[in-house]
Structure 1
Amino acid sequence: MEKKKIFKSAPLPFMGQKRKFLKQFEPALQKYSPTATYVDLFGGSGLLSHTVKALYPDATVIYNDFDNYRLRLDNVDRTNKLLSDLRAVLANYPKDKRVIGEIRDNIIDRLQKEEESGYLDYITISSSLLFSMKYAFSMEQFRKETLYNCVRQSNYDAKGYLEGIEVVSKCYKELFLKYKDLDKVVFLVDPPYLSTETNSYKGYWKLKDYLDVLQVLDKTKYFYFTSNKSSIIELCEWIETKTPMSNPFNGAYTETMTATVNYNSSYTDIMIYKI
């Protein structure tokens, strides 16, 4: 019987995936039921859902794929073929150097051909052709960007990543209402962070959106992810002292991790969970 691969990072690039938090997430997860229903309200790359299913094969795991990550996974073979072609184009080009001239034109032509064929994974290809943490989301953007030879040298592998997981694409509020009254349900709540870059997410998040999310934490079991940039924790403490409202984080456990953006910039990632 073939052993199922356990992914420690998302198989395709995704800004905001929780791979660096798994060392804290996995031990905390062991405090919950192995047969509960886990609802990943802001599924993102699906890494949290995958981790739950890997630890608890008998659990029901609902992955809310609002960013259509599954479409990227379904097209991984096409993306690998494109990367293979790009490696051939850049075979004699210096690694990590700016790509100019005829070679750049050849790359743009190849990307254009891929888009015209029906699908181009802009985020994954951006990670191989653009400066770190930059993304293009259209051919028009790619034509304007400075390209670099940082093409991945191995193929991506997504086999079995979402096996046994129920994938949906709904508003998180609708999903919450559907499952909130179950006897054993745990919500995974990882919304786009306030005051951080959200270009690779669908839509634009305002303060009201972040505050609305806090309603799913009221009288539920959850994992909630935020950062010290958001000041959400301090805001909830203020609300508790100045209004009749309660603090949804009372009685919860907190884990932190330093996230490095570049050599002179970092912030604190925060995981709060209530059993």
Structure 2
Amino acid sequence: MEKKKIFTSAPLPFMGQKRKFLKQFKPALEKYSPTATYVDLFGGSGLLSHTVKSIYPEARVIYNDFDNYRLRLENVYQTNKLLTDLRSILADYPKDKRIVGDIRDIVLNRLQKEEKSGYLDYITVSSSLLFSMKYAFSMEQFRKETLYNCVRQSNYDTKGYLEDIEVVSICYKELFLKYKDLDNVVFLVDPPYLSTETSSYKGYWKLKDYLDVLQVLDRTKYFYFTSNKSSIIELCEWIETKTPMSNPFNGAYTETMTATVNYNASYTDIMIYKI
């Protein structure tokens, strides 16, 4: 019997995936039921859902793929073929150097051909042609960007990543209402961070949106992810002391991790969970 691969990071690039938090997430998860229903309200790359299913095979896991990550996974063969061609085009070009002149035109024409064929995974290709953490979401953007030869040298492997996981794509509020009154349910709550780059997420999030999310933490079992840049924890403490409302984080456990943006900038990632 073939051993199922356990991914420690999302198989395709995704901004905000929780790969660096898995060291804290896994032991915390052991405090929950192995047969619970885990609802990943903001599924993102699906890494939290995959990790839960890997640790608790008998659990029911619902992954809300609101960013259509599944479509990128389904087209990985086409993406790998494109990257193979780019490696050939840039075979004699210096690694990590700016792509200029005729070679740049050849690269862009190859991307244009891929787009016309019906599908181009802009985010994955961005990680191979743009400076670190930059993303283009159209051919027009690619033509305006400075390209670099940082093409991945091996193909992406996504086999089995979402195996036995239920995938939906609906508003998190609708998904929450569907499961909030059921027994033995744990919510995974990882919304786009307030005051953090969110260009690769679908839609635009305002302060009201972040505050609305806190309602899913009321009298539920959950994992909630935020950062010190959002000041959400301090806001909830203020609300508790100044209004009749309660603090949704009372009685919860907190884990932190330093996230580095570049050589002179960092912030604190925060995981709060209630059993």
TM over 0.5: yes
Shift of 1:273: 0.0
Q: For 2:133 and 2:231, how far apart are their aligned partners in 1? A: 24
Within 5 Å, give how 1:134-153 maps onto structure 2: 134-153=134-153
Shift of 1:78: 0.3
* Deviation readout 1:116-173 (Å, 9 max, x if unpaired): 0000000000000000000000000000000000000000000000000000000000
Shift of 1:211: 0.2
Q: For 1:112 and 1:128, how far apart are their aligned partners in 2? A: 16
* Secondary structure at the counterpart of residue 109 of structure 1: helix
Q: Aligned residues: percent identity?
A: 89
Alignment partner, residue 17 of structure 1: 17
| AA partner of residue 58 (structure 1) | E
* Secondary structure at the counterpart of residue 191 of structure 2: coil
Q: For 1:154 and 1:104, how far apart are their aligned partners in 2? A: 21
| AA partner of residue 49 (structure 1) | S
| AA partner of residue 53 (structure 1) | K
Alignment partner, residue 133 of structure 1: 133
| AA partner of residue 131 (structure 1) | F
* Secondary structure at the counterpart of residue 99 of structure 1: coil
Q: For 1:80 and 1:129, how far apart are their aligned partners in 2? A: 14
In the alignment, structure 1 residue 270 sits paired with structure 2 residue 273: no
Alignment partner, residue 261 of structure 1: 261
Alignment partner, residue 240 of structure 1: 240
| AA partner of residue 196 (structure 1) | T
Shift of 1:263: 0.3
* Deviation readout 1:174-223 (Å, 9 max, x if unpaired): 00000001110000000000000000000000000000000000000000
Shift of 1:41: 0.1
- TM-score, L = length of structure 2: 1.00
Q: For 2:106 and 2:171, how far apart are their aligned partners in 1? A: 41
Q: For 1:193 and 1:204, how far apart are their aligned partners in 2? A: 11
In the alignment, structure 1 residue 75 sits paired with structure 2 residue 79: no
Q: For 1:95 and 1:260, how far apart are their aligned partners in 2? A: 24
Alignment RMSD (CA, Å): 0.2
* Secondary structure at the counterpart of residue 148 of structure 1: coil
Alignment partner, residue 178 of structure 1: 178
Q: For 1:14 and 1:98, how far apart are their aligned partners in 2? A: 23
| AA partner of residue 206 (structure 2) | K
Within 5 Å, give how 1:219-238 maps onto structure 2: 219-238=219-238
| AA partner of residue 80 (structure 2) | N
Within 5 Å, give how 1:1-275 maps onto structure 2: 1-275=1-275
* Deviation readout 1:241-263 (Å, 9 max, x if unpaired): 00000000000000000000000
Shift of 1:96: 0.2
Structure 2's unaligned 5+ residue stretches are none
Task: Give the total of aligned pairs.
Answer: 275
Q: For 1:132 and 1:158, how far apart are their aligned partners in 2? A: 22
* Secondary structure at the counterpart of residue 270 of structure 1: strand
Q: For 1:182 and 1:25, how far apart are their aligned partners in 2? A: 23
Runs of 4+ in 1 over 2 A off after TM superposition: none
Shift of 1:115: 0.1
Q: For 2:262 and 2:81, how far apart are their aligned partners in 1? A: 31
Q: For 2:188 and 2:221, how far apart are their aligned partners in 1? A: 9
Q: For 1:184 and 1:229, how far apart are their aligned partners in 2? A: 32
| AA partner of residue 204 (structure 2) | Y
Shift of 1:237: 0.0
* Secondary structure at the counterpart of residue 222 of structure 2: strand
- TM-score, L = length of structure 1: 1.00
Shift of 1:4: 0.1
* Secondary structure at the counterpart of residue 250 of structure 2: coil
Q: For 2:31 and 2:76, how far apart are their aligned partners in 1? A: 35
Q: For 2:175 and 2:216, how far apart are their aligned partners in 1? A: 10
| AA partner of residue 258 (structure 1) | T
